[in-house]
Amino acid sequence: MFAPLKSFVPRSLYGRAALILIVPIVTIQLVISISFIQRHYEGVTRQMARGLMIELRHLIDEVNEAGSLPEAEARAARVAEALEFRVALPADWSTPEDRRDFWDLSGRQLVLTLHEGLAPLSAVDLVTNDNEVRLLIATDKGPMEVAVERRRVSASNPHQLLVLMIVTSILMTIIAYLFLSNQLRPIKRLADAAEAFGKGQHIAYRPRGAVEVRAAGQAFLEMRSRIERQIEQRTLMLSGVSHDLRTPLTRLRLGLSMLSDPEEGQELLGDVADMERLVDEFLSFVRGDALDEAEEVDPLALVGRVVENAQRAGQDVTLVRAEGTGTMVLREAAVGRALENLIGNAVRYGTKAEVSVTLGERALRIAVEDDGPGIPRERREEALRPFTRLDKARNPNRGGGVGLGLTIAMDIARNHGGALRLGESETLGGLRAELTLAR
């Protein structure tokens, strides 16, 4: 029912708060102006016009009862002085017709009421003088002009009160919005701090505002502190694990190099190298990007360096497109590691890879495409899970990996407020892996 209205509703908290303030005020103004102001002033105008009609009837009777025109003029002057009228007998009226401005609503009621209750009335003029009502009345002694001050027969223009109400409402809306923005600002700061933390950035934040907002801010700080402590403890643990695992592997490598049978030693040394590679992948998966510091980086230059390093390593990879300019805050080593994993997967399961990068206003998009067998649509979500190898025939000890490359890239993307999406390459026919990082 309200779906078509959603496109007109502001999306920001400040915009919706302003809408909540303005809509009720405008509605109240319309209701009051239509239901009260105009009806009230029209009623007052009719009552004042009826009072004028009583005085005009007395004046008409005095004129009609006079025996001659001079006597009628004298009587009219005497009554006019008492009632504060201005009378001209006979009247000099060029066009005997009603005249009023179309926006003069109270004048409309005045004209209607006088014509309904005063039969000799020929015309009413409210235009010649804004402060005066000119009346043309037929008498036995000829047409008579009567001029009355407008304030005696018509309530003050209701639009003046309406304008005053609008100006006051605008002023109060501005004041209310300033107070409301002071309450919304802490919520906006909390949202900014949470968004930055989701991108792997740490910005200073102190809870402020209402009690509920302070409670939410304090809960966020405690949650952030717990997560950071867990990351720090995990990093320290992994440093120890890395040292403990590499030391026996180094001793094993040294012992194998001293074997009498060189061929057997070379095979075992290859196994040790595979074990070291697997340990490195495990550590990279668990460590993620916790050890990197976010900083301003040129992402296009970063992608170019990673592609050049892959080319020097003998991999068939090409940077086919680089669009956009500028820098963004990210963890350079982590993003480089994610891109290296995507390129490594591409050349491992295909023969060549193509990389494209686009830096937009709100996001960085890095796409890696290959000519390999790709991943079926129904298994792409499974491919992002850790320790998942879709091709069971691939031997991890022969360079197939342990199923962590895509998972590491996905975690790094999420830590930057982005995502990793898998699809089909339109140019090469294999897998398309798109890394999106929020800017």
> CB-based contacts of 392: which residues, under 8 Å, 6+ apart?
none
| Helix or strand (DSSP H, E) at 18 | helix 13-32
Sorting pLDDT into bands at 50, 70 and 90, what band is 392?
A: very low
Question: Could you give the C-alpha distances from 380 to 129, 276, 367, in angstroms and in order?
Answer: 84, 28, 16
CB 317 within 8 A of CB 310: yes
Count Cβ neighbours within 10 Å for each residue of 135-166 and write b for 16 or more, e otherwise. Answer: bbbebebebbbbbbebebbbbebbbeeeeebe
Q: What is the pLDDT of residues 302-319, one digit of tens each?
A: 999 999 999 998 899 999
Which comes out higher in pLDDT, residue 392 or 354? 354
In this model, does residue 175 exceed pLDDT 70? yes
Sorting pLDDT into bands at 50, 70 and 90, what band is 401?
A: low
Are 279 and 298 part of one and the same domain? no
Residue 271 lies in a domain: yes
How far apart (Å, rounded) are the C-alpha atoms in residues 212 and 293?
A: 33
How far apart (Å, rounded) are the C-alpha atoms in residues 338 and 276?
A: 19
Residue 179 lies in a domain: no
> Which of 99, 127, 156 finishes a domain?
156
Residue 187 lies in a domain: no
CB 63 within 8 A of CB 141: yes
Residue 368 lies in a domain: yes
What integer pLDDT is reported at residue 397 of this predicted model?
40
CB 368 within 8 A of CB 340: no
Q: How many domains does the chain have?
A: 3
How far apart (Å, rounded) are the C-alpha atoms in residues 436 and 338?
A: 11
Residue 164 lies in a domain: no
Residue 258 lies in a domain: yes
Q: What does the CA dihedral 370, 375, 377, 380 come to, rounded to 10 degrees? A: -100
Residue 180 lies in a domain: no
> Residue 373 is part of which domain span?
291-438
How far apart (Å, rounded) are the C-alpha atoms in residues 243 and 395?
A: 27
Residue 288 φ/ψ region, left for φ over 0, alpha for ψ in the -120 to 50 degree band, beta for the rest: left
What integer pLDDT is reported at residue 416 of this predicted model?
83
Q: What is the pLDDT of residues 108-153, one digit of tens each?
A: 888 888 888 888 888 988 888 888 898 999 898 889 999 998 888 8
Q: What is the pLDDT of residues 219-241, one digit of tens each?
A: 988 888 888 787 677 667 766 66
Are 309 and 422 part of one and the same domain? yes
How far apart (Å, rounded) are the C-alpha atoms in residues 384 and 399?
A: 19
Structure tokens at 425: 């390459």
Residue 183 lies in a domain: no
Strand order from edge to edge, sheet including 142-149: 86-88, 142-149, 132-139, 121-125
Are 296 and 364 part of one and the same domain? yes
Are 256 and 296 part of one and the same domain? no
In this model, does residue 242 exceed pLDDT 80? no
Are 302 and 324 part of one and the same domain? yes
